[in-house]
Structure 1
């Protein structure tokens, strides 16, 4: 609710600023025209102007009327409010993003403001903790719905150019002080989210990922592994957990061994580097994760073809029942397969008609067994008695 009030306030202020600007321009135009019409004769008659007079430079200092003056809010203030709201309430993204975008479309009307918007979103996305995913989603949405597109580039193109600047500084940043390295790590993780979320529309078929980011991520990981201190290794592990499966599939499809090379580098670091015990454990877990195909199960469809003959675990999740003699039997016992299904049906019947506390909830008129069930039950009892006498 607080966010909506702020949005209405931003919209009101923006409309008032535009309205006051138009009114001021109109008032200035009307008063100037009237004054010129009434004073033109007297000015001409009393004029002492001379062609040889020195140049005169007028003073255009403007002092706004306090009653009609609205302090125009800045784009930075509005974007900061938007991002703070999305950071604190990421679940509201889908419901609020359309309104946020309409506000930005009303505000960002020049190339200069578009550049400022890109810088604001990039800075906040790499500075606000845990905001890189939402920031990447915001960038993707704006790249498709922000209407302004100057000659210098649209929102997506300017965003990629901004990322390019940070990418080119990676070799210096990775050896910088703690704060510089922290900014680099935030950029790396944001770029990973951007690769997963930024969609580039093509002429035909579904949207594609920004392929230019693919090679950048590979270079950034190699930069981190070239400087195997704990902070750099932790960042690389986070990035690979985030994007590893997608990168691996993409590189395999194009016949590139980049993921194999990265895993080999990790194994070399495990042998030679002097990283901490916790980081070493993280690297080992990452290698295991990749060896298990990033934890994915590829043969789930094969389970639908399982039968008691080809799968020894076919009945492993079925319940076990007992005869009157305490002899266990399950659906795996062909002699009792039919009775097993009947008991399951009775179990479902009991579950549907009795509460958790055991109180009866079904209609008394329906408590008698039907002929088929009664016959099957009697047959089951006779069979059990026969087994008991043997």
Structure 2
């Protein structure tokens, strides 16, 4: 039910008694002039359901749909075609603004997108970009908070359950790991605007990410350590820079925790190798090349670090790709499938992936 309208509701007429219904039907058959050979009737305004809803900008885009159905449809589309984000996002936002007319519906929208972003692993990057755009362009802003504020509150609710989640069953832990990586993407992509300054990152997430890393390292089982490594490969350079700018040594503390785990924890040999490579990566300034380029003037041509903020992955044949790759979804899912169905093989290959990543960075 959206704004008092239930798209799933069907009106029903009373059913007449069997005798009167039969008599009326017989009379209609005797007097009917209809032919069974007549051509099929098609309403003049009928449009085939197979028509590509993304093919034009008509106002019949997803006609008579609920908010949940609409979110499911466009998330599925963006997940399968992440390269279409820029061309689709304005229309998606316009549709959401027409649907989100009450505080309750805004809450529902936040929950729907949060759930999608933390349950589809290869949607975390696109989900964070989506959240940033909607936080800037969803018009409704009730007393309970705008889109961004409600999203951060939802993330905080999950954050407060971190100790329970990290000790939960395997499925609970898996969902927690997806949440951690989504929060990392959100920190990199969510823009906070102010009246006097240029857009910045949500500092509240900075402290949350540190505590989430502490939680993962305090329970040094392989899945938790692998999640921490993924988070640090994703956002480690940005976290490190931000803490240094604030005069804080938080990354040094995190690296010390990793070194302690390498000495004492009973993690697998392959996860231990991943941790060692991460320490090496940080000691090399996260693989970045020092440059005098001013960040505000940085371009792919004048700044060798331009693409460093996006994580680089490798397919089975060693082909590098990032989240901006049009085939990102398929390639990333391939890696996830190997991790899910062949965990031992995946872990054994991790060291080789790390080696390839470092060699690629040295080449450039």
TM-score range, shorter chain: 0.5 to 0.7
CA contact (8 A) 1:126 1:183 kept: yes
TM-superposed CA distance for 1:151, in Å, is 0.7
TM-superposed CA distance for 1:202, in Å, is 1.0
CA contact (8 A) 2:237 2:285 kept: yes
Partners of 1:278 and 1:124 lie apart in 2 by 31
Change (3 A) 1:299 1:138: closer
* Higher gyration radius (CA): 1
**Superposition pairs for residues 20-169 of structure 1, below 5 Å?**
73-169=65-161
TM-superposed CA distance for 1:4, in Å, is 1.1
Partners of 2:262 and 2:62 lie apart in 1 by 59
**Does residue 1:4 correspond to 2:32, yes or no?**
no
TM-superposed CA distance for 1:234, in Å, is 0.2
Partners of 1:199 and 1:281 lie apart in 2 by 35
The structure with the largest helix share of the pair is: 1
What residue number does 2:63 align with? 13
Partners of 2:174 and 2:243 lie apart in 1 by 28
What residue number does 2:232 align with? 240
What residue number does 1:280 align with? 272
TM-superposed CA distance for 1:126, in Å, is 0.7
TM-superposed CA distance for 1:115, in Å, is 0.3
- What secondary structure is seen at the aligned counterpart in 1 of 2:54? helix
Change (3 A) 1:8 1:124: farther
- What secondary structure is seen at the aligned counterpart in 2 of 1:298? coil
What residue number does 1:198 align with? 190
CA contact (8 A) 1:140 1:199 kept: yes
* Deviation readout 1:18-67 (Å, 9 max, x if unpaired): xxxxxxxxxxxxxxxxxxxxxxxxxxxxxxxxxxxxxxxxxxxxxxxxxx
Count residues in correspondence.
243
Partners of 1:250 and 1:154 lie apart in 2 by 26
Give unmatched runs, 5+ long, in structure 1: 15-72, 302-390
What residue number does 2:181 align with? 189
- Runs of 4+ that moved beyond 4 A: 5-10
Partners of 1:77 and 1:193 lie apart in 2 by 25
TM-superposed CA distance for 1:6, in Å, is 9.4
TM-superposed CA distance for 1:117, in Å, is 0.2
CA contact (8 A) 2:53 2:61 kept: no
Change (3 A) 1:135 1:12: closer
Change (3 A) 1:10 1:76: farther
Partners of 2:62 and 2:127 lie apart in 1 by 26
TM-superposed CA distance for 1:128, in Å, is 1.3
Select the residue among 249, 261, 269 that pairs with 2:261.
269
CA contact (8 A) 2:184 2:234 kept: yes
* Deviation readout 1:60-104 (Å, 9 max, x if unpaired): xxxxxxxxxxxxx32100100010000000000000000000000
Give unmatched runs, 5+ long, in structure 2: 1-50, 294-364
Select the residue among 203, 217, 224 that pairs with 1:225.
217
**Superposition pairs for residues 327-338 of structure 1, below 5 Å?**
none
Partners of 1:129 and 1:137 lie apart in 2 by 14
Q: TM-score, normalised on structure 1?
A: 0.60
* Deviation readout 1:302-361 (Å, 9 max, x if unpaired): xxxxxxxxxxxxxxxxxxxxxxxxxxxxxxxxxxxxxxxxxxxxxxxxxxxxxxxxxxxx
TM-superposed CA distance for 1:129, in Å, is 2.7
What residue number does 2:163 align with? 171
Q: Give the structure, 1 or 2, with the largest relative contact order (CA under 8 Å, sep 6 or more).
A: 2
What residue number does 1:355 align with? none
* Cα root mean square deviation, aligned: 1.6
Change (3 A) 1:187 1:142: same
TM-superposed CA distance for 1:205, in Å, is 2.5
CA contact (8 A) 2:53 2:62 kept: no
* Deviation readout 1:269-302 (Å, 9 max, x if unpaired): 001011011100100000000000000111577x
**Superposition pairs for residues 238-317 of structure 1, below 5 Å?**
238-299=230-291
TM-superposed CA distance for 1:8, in Å, is 4.9
